[in-house]
């Protein structure tokens, strides 16, 4: 009988790696930090409110994981550079901090525009620049994951700012993936549909809104934060070693139609 050499399944483990998650104090950010920690990474949870991320980090440590909290306003360029310089060289960065101001274009103010793009685009760019700069200097490679949205692939009413900012995230992801690939740094995005969190729940109290959303999701349900965790662990780990410059769309079929 001919001997068959079987391939080995790549590992999803992240033991020995340090990861930074922005916007890690609530909702999707907590799920992201948990997924990374449960795969063995030491996770640094960053948010403006230290109390929130400290509580999540404490819960992860209580569960036997490695986690620490960082008070950080990612829109403050100097603070970002100082915080990243104080951390160990990272193996994983997850740009999760983001915001939305949903309103008709005619009602959008300059302050609305600046606030959304400052956090969703500029801050993401600055954090990535700081983290990948250290990766490049150390020659270690790594994985950058940008939390985008299905709205980075399609349009939607009353969401010009959000859609515009998330389309920008997708463009940055692709361009940076090409630029950093020769140095072993992978850059990808995750593009979720509507995920049920404390931040999104008020939208579903608007009459008819939930029904409109569910009509677009082929699988017939809203997303849960747990739906992001597997995608995140995959893109962070060696299981996705040949994946860069792509968007993993976790949308229940929204953009397939």
- Domain of 55 in residue numbering reads as 18-209+224-251
- Asked, for residue 9, whether it belongs to a domain, the answer is no
What is the distance between the alpha carbons of residues 57 and 46, in angstroms, rounded to a whole number? 10
Q: Which CATH number characterizes residue 36's domain?
A: 3.40.50.720
Q: Tell me how far apart the alpha carbons of residues 201 and 255 are, in angstroms, rounded to a whole number.
A: 22
pLDDT, averaged across the chain: 96
Q: How far, rounded to the nearest angstrom, does the alpha carbon of residue 72 sit from its chain's CA centroid?
A: 16
Characterize the bridge pairing of strands 185-192 and 92-95: unpaired
- Match 């809203």 to its residue by tokens: 222
Within-domain flag for 70: yes
In the chain, what is the straight-line distance between the N-terminal and C-terminal CA atoms, in Å? 49
Q: Is residue 11 part of a domain?
A: no
User: Angle at Cα 25 formed by Cα 217 and Cα 191, nearest 5°?
Assistant: 30
Please indicate, yes or no, if residue 5 is contained in any of the structural domains: no
Question: Looking at the annotation, which residues are catalytic?
Answer: 162
Q: Please give the pLDDT value at position 188.
A: 99
Q: Which two tokens stand for residue 152?
A: 């980075």
pTM: 0.96
Distance, CA of 175 to CA of 209 (rounded, Å): 35
For tokens 């109390």, the residue is 51
Residue 105 domain-assigned? yes
Q: Tell me if 167 sits within 8 A of 152, measured CB to CB.
A: yes
Residue 60 forms part of a structural domain = yes
Give residue 145's pLDDT: 99
**Binned average pLDDT, 10 residues per bin, the chain of 257 residues:** 93 98 96 98 97 97 98 98 98 96 96 98 98 97 98 95 98 98 98 90 87 95 96 98 98 96
Number of domains in the chain: 1
Q: Specify if 242 maps to a domain.
A: yes
3-state secondary structure the chain: CCCCCCCCCCCCCCCCCEEEEECCCCHHHHHHHHHHHHCCCEEEEEECCHHHHHHHHHHHHHCCCEEEEEECCCCCHHHHHHHHHHCCCCCEEEECCCCCCCCCHHHCCHHHHHHHHHHHHHHHHHHHHHHHHHHHHHCCCEEEEEECCHHHCCCCCCCHHHHHHHHHHHHHHHHHHHHHHHHCEEEEEEEECCECCCCCHHHHCCCCHHHHHHHHCCCCCCECCHHHHHHHHHHHCHHHCCCCCCEEEECCCHHHC
Which residues does residue 68 pair with via DSSP β-bridges, in sequence order?
A: 44
- Write down the pLDDT at residue 54: 98
CA atoms within 13 A on the CB side of 211: 3
> What does the longest C-alpha to C-alpha distance in the chain come to?
73
- Tell me the CB-side half-sphere exposure of residue 8, using CA atoms within 13 A: 4
Q: Is residue 12 part of a domain?
A: no
Token pair 């999540």: residue? 56
């Amino acid at each position: 009988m001919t001997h068959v050499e079987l391939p080995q399944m790549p590992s999803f483990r992240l033991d020995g790696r340090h990861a930074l998650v922005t916007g890690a104090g609530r909702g999707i950010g907590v799920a992201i930090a948990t997924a990374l920690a449960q795969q063995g990474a030491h996770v640094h949870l960053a948010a403006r409110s230290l109390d929130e991320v400290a509580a999540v980090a404490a819960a992860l440590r209580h569960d036997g994981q490695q986690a620490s909290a960082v008070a950080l306003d990612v829109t403050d360029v100097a603070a970002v550079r100082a915080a990243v310089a104080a951390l160990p060289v990272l193996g994983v960065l997850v740009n999760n901090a983001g915001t939305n101001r949903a309103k008709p274009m005619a009602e959008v103010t300059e302050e609305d525009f600046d606030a959304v793009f400052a956090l969703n685009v500029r801050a993401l760019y600055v954090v990535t620049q700081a983290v990948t700069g250290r990766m490049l200097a150390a020659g270690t490679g790594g994985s950058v994951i940008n939390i985008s949205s299905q709205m980075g692939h399609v349009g939607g009413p009353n969401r010009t700012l959000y859609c515009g900012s998330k389309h920008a995230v997708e463009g940055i992801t692709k361009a940076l993936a090409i630029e950093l690939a020769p140095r072993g740094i992978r850059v990808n995005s995750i593009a979720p549909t509507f995920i049920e969190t404390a931040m999104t729940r008020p939208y579903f109290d608007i009459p008819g809104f939930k029904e409109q959303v569910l009509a677009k999701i082929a699988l017939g349900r809203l997303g849960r934060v747990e739906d992001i965790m597997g995608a995140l662990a995959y893109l962070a780990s060696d299981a996705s070693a040949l994946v860069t410059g792509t968007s993993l769309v976790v949308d229940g079929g929204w953009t397939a139609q």
